[in-house]
Structure 1
Amino acid sequence: MRSLRPLLAAVLIGLSAVVVVAPPAAAEGVQTIYMNAAGDDTRDGATPGTAVRSLVRVQQLVAAGPLDMDVEVRIHAGTYVAQGIVWQTYRPGHTITFMPDDYEYGEGIGGIAALPVFQNRRASGSGRYITGAWIHACPGNPGQPLAGGGTSGLRFYYLRVEYYASAALSLDGSAGSCGGGYQRSSAPGLPSARGLDGNTVFGMRFTKIGNAYTGGSCDNPDFQRCGYGGIVLTESSDNRIENNHFVDLRNSENSYIHAIYVTHKSSRNRFLNNQVTGVSSEPVKVRDGSNFNSFEQNAFGANGFVRSSPSMVHYREEVNEAAEECSSYHNRFAGNDLGTYLIGSGANLPVWVITPAGATYKGAPVCPALPAGEVRLITANNTY
């Protein structure tokens, strides 16, 4: 145990017709959209018998629906093979939930017949897996809801996501989030002026993410595929990420990819009671003004790191001064089961590192000082 506050203070359903179990009754005031791997995207998705097949069609139906209702996307067990989607459709003040069609709120996995599987598609010509995340959610298009960011209310329950190159789920509220790379929306060290906030990820299984499974490499311009995380948060705050499994997230370079990557002004996120195994870089990485995040009661299994420089750890916070990044502060890494990690010498993996070092280091010269009494990391009760 270490307390560091004193130191730092695959297959489509083989059916000729759509066959479904009886779903829960649709809630009043909710738009329900049904998906089935044997569905038809020319349909309206309003009933199990008119289920649609793709998230592309689901987004069209959400965009066409009433803004004053929650959405439930009820997904029948099966394998949905498709490249990732950019999601830009929201219902301000309401939620959009993706879940198995037999899921009841509050129940565990035992009440679900099988997890629906979302599997990346291969390009028709080369046969290579297509790059990108399963869902890259970013603010709405100009003139559409949440064009300037805000509370997006996306919720994901008990689905399996596999064979995506860059991430399973990317929640990105930055100014350049839907193309053109990261562009911060506010001055260094200040909270995001946009954000894509208030989402829930619960009971999910993310597996075989990264170029070790999709081919390519992070540095090959002719076949560039690079995994960054099971979940990547960029200017995305107040998210609940709980009770998920992160299994086999790897790049062939044994670098970059993490179970959770919290970056660029992503604050007050909760990463709780998750299970992580088979990750080729730090399970948790935090970067650039991402504050008050909590990583607690997680179980980190044997991940098989092989990279020694920089040394692997469970939790890494990093600052790039040249990019005018600022330190993060008041992040808590506590009560985690660290498992047994074998690195070069056979030693356990260290708990944490912050770079550059310094409990109150602020980051680039343009950054504000940390608030009085704050430190970059609080750790307690992590055990091997």
Structure 2
Amino acid sequence: MRLPAAALALALPLASMAPASAAPLFTVHMAPGAPAHNDGLTARTPVGSLARVQEVLRRHRPKSDVEVRIEQGVYRSAGMQDWRFYIPGHTISFMPADYEQGTGLPPGGRPVFRNVAGHPGGFWFQARLPKDRTDPLHNGGDSGLRFYYLQVEEYSAGAISIFGDSERDVSDESHDPPLRVRGSQGLNGNLLFGMMLRNLGDKHAPGAPFGYGAVVLTNSSGNRIENNTFDRVENTDPHAGYVHGTYVTHFSSSNVIVRNRFEWISGDPIKVRNASSYNVFEHNTFDRTGRTAHYADEFCDLDCARKNKIDRQCASFHNRLFRNKLGRSHTGDAALPAWLLTPAGLTNAGGAPCSIPAGDVRLRTGSNTS
């Protein structure tokens, strides 16, 4: 029997998501407060921001794997919300300067990226599709971003957004109401490992717009999110329930979210929406998270689309929630259900043209403990 992509990814060791080749690396160095004119090519001439890292990569156009070596310290930044540089067949890894691939937290600890006080909001890092029509990833593909052992805090929207539908038409108006469709092949095949994502959402960025999720995947598949801590991801009322630990939405499939810790999340810690299937959520630990369930699966069916005047969506299916340690709600006054489907029904696809394969269901669960 052939394993679904997500189940196969769970079975593979982390080394399977290592840099693509043993060819010489292209390295960019970062250090807090580095001069803007530095070239970033040596540890003595580091750059000080992710914007400058992207400028260096665009100038040199490496054809190999890239490592962005980040000196420990605090980087005060409004966030990089326009990352569009990728190398087909290769990876771009963001990591502490002293990190060794395949090991744990490095001796120097995690570099810290902290939002600038009073900034109007946004994500720390948002990956988007290239604008250049001649770019090999203009219509999506394997973006190959890797994030290891970094700390991200005080960004209102969240920490990392992989946005595979950026600037694309996602409405099929041959349907009434229009049907939400994929805008591209997605930005796929990324990794988050050992990250500390904390103090996110508008509660921790007063005056900024409310947050959506510490990690938001939009049309982004084949990612692995492992061994990360999601801590204090919170919005204030009336938007407290709108922010999540991981938000897997709009055709984001075959993702593996395993061995993470979620704590103090004001919305449901895992949110899945709209044709995001074959995802695996296993061996995670939760405490003081959520309002309705640990895993909330939602889509906007025909009635919802007409009522809210938005594009219609379809159910996700063949997702797995197994062997997680469940905990209390965000308020701490009750145990939280393992899962909730909205609209209800394990085989409710949302009506034609939406469908679920015969014999399959939206979610399978088992061996979760309190």
* TM-score, scaled relative to structure 1: 0.82
Q: 1:73 to 1:260 in 2, by over 3 A?
A: same
1:1-384 correspondence to structure 2 within 5 Å: 29-85=24-80, 86-109=82-105, 111-122=106-117, 128-142=118-132, 143-176=134-167, 183=170, 193-216=184-207, 225-253=209-237, 254-303=240-289, 312-321=292-301, 322=305, 323-341=311-329, 346-363=333-350, 365-384=351-370
1:350 corresponds to which letter in structure 2?
A: P
Q: Are the counterparts in 2 of residues 175 and 183 from structure 1 also a CA contact under 8 Å?
A: no
Counterparts of 2:172 and 2:42, CA distance in 1: 41
Per the TM alignment, residue 144 of structure 1 is displaced from its structure 2 partner at its CA by: 2.9
Distance 1:188 1:237, change over 3 A: farther
- Give unpaired runs (5+ residues) of structure 1: 1-26, 123-127, 217-223, 306-310
For residues 213-257 of structure 1, give each alpha carbon's deviation from its aligned partner in whole angstroms, at most 9, with x where no partner exists.
1123xxxxxxx5010000000000000000000000000022110
Q: 1:380 to 1:47 in 2, by over 3 A?
A: same
Q: Contact between 2:180 and 2:312, CA under 8 Å: does it hold in 1?
A: no
Whole-angstrom CA distance in 1 between matches of 2:242 and 2:107? 34
Name the CA distance, whole Å, in 2 between partners of 1:236 and 1:188.
19
CA contact (8 A) 1:120 1:130 kept: no
CA distance in 1 between counterparts of 2:62 and 2:368 reads 45
Letter in 1 for 2:243: I
Partners of 1:210 and 1:249 within 8 A in 2: yes
TM-score (norm. length: structure 2): 0.85
Deviation at 1:67, TM superposition (A): 4.0
Structure with bigger RCO (C-alpha 8 Å, 6+ apart): 1
Letter aligned with residue 119 of structure 1: R
CA distance in 2, matches of 1:152, 1:250: 29
Q: Report which stretch shifted further, 131-140 or 66-75.
A: 66-75
> Which sits farther off after the overlay, 61-70 or 276-285?
61-70
Does the Cα contact within 8 Å between 2:26 and 2:62 map onto a contact in 1?
A: no
Equivalent-residue separation in structure 2 for 1:140 and 1:56 (angstroms): 15
Contact 1:200 1:239 in 2 (8 A): yes
Amino acid at match of 1:245: T
Q: How many residues align?
A: 333
1:212–1:351 CA distance, 2 compared to 1 (3 A)? same
Structure 2 unaligned blocks of 5 or more: 1-21, 306-310
CA 174–380 in structure 1, closer or farther in 2 if over 3 Å, else same: same
Q: Distance in 1 between matches of 2:267 and 2:166?
A: 28
Q: CA RMSD in A?
A: 2.0
- The answer to whether the 8 A contact 2:171-2:181 is kept is no
SS at match of 2:51: helix
User: CA separation of 1:188/1:146 partners in 2, compared to 1, >3 Å: closer, same or farther?
Assistant: same
Matches of 1:77 and 1:67, distance apart in 2: 25
1:113-132 alpha-carbon deviations (Å, 9 max, x no partner): 1210001113xxxxx23311
Counterpart Cα distance in 2 of 1:44 and 1:350: 52
CA contact (8 A) 2:327 2:336 kept: no
- Name the SS for the 1:350 alignment partner: coil
Give the C-alpha shift of residue 191 in structure 1.
Answer: 6.4
Q: Report Cα offsets for 1:8-32 as digits up to 9, x if no partner.
A: xxxxxxxxxxxxxxxxxxx852110
Query: Relative to structure 1, is the Cα distance of residues 32 and 195 closer, same or farther in structure 2, using a 3 angstrom cutoff?
Result: same
Compute the displacement of 1:92 (Å): 0.8
**What secondary structure is seen at the aligned counterpart in 2 of 1:49?**
coil
